[in-house]
Amino acid sequence: MKITIVYDNEVKKEGLRAGWGFSALVEREKLPTILFDTGADSPTLLHNMKQLDIDPKIIDIIVISHLHGDHTGGLADILKQNETAELYIPSTFNRTFPGRKVTSVGKDPVQVCQDAFSTGELEDIEQSLALKIDKGIFVLAGCSHPAMRGILGAASKFGKLYGIAGGFHGFHDFKVFEDLSLIYPCHCTQYKKKIIELFKGKALECGAGLIIEV
Read off the CATH number of the domain in which 43 is found. 3.60.15.10
Domain-located, residue 212: no
SS3 32: coil
Q: What is the DSSP string of 60-124?
A: -EEE---S-HHHHTTHHHHHHH-SS-EEEEETT-----TTS-EEEE-SS-EEEETTEEE---BTT
pLDDT beneath 70, residues of the chain: none
Domain-located, residue 120: yes
Q: What's residue 94's pLDDT?
A: 83
Domain-located, residue 89: yes
Domain-located, residue 213: no
Domain-located, residue 214: no
Number of domains in the chain: 1
Q: Which domain holds residue 79?
A: 2-206
Looking at this protein, which amino acid is placed at residue 137? Answer: I
Distance CA 6, CA 199 (A): 24
Domain-located, residue 164: yes
* pLDDT tens digits along 158-190: 999 999 999 999 999 999 999 999 999 999 999
Domain-located, residue 13: yes
Domain-located, residue 176: yes
Q: What's residue 95's pLDDT?
A: 86
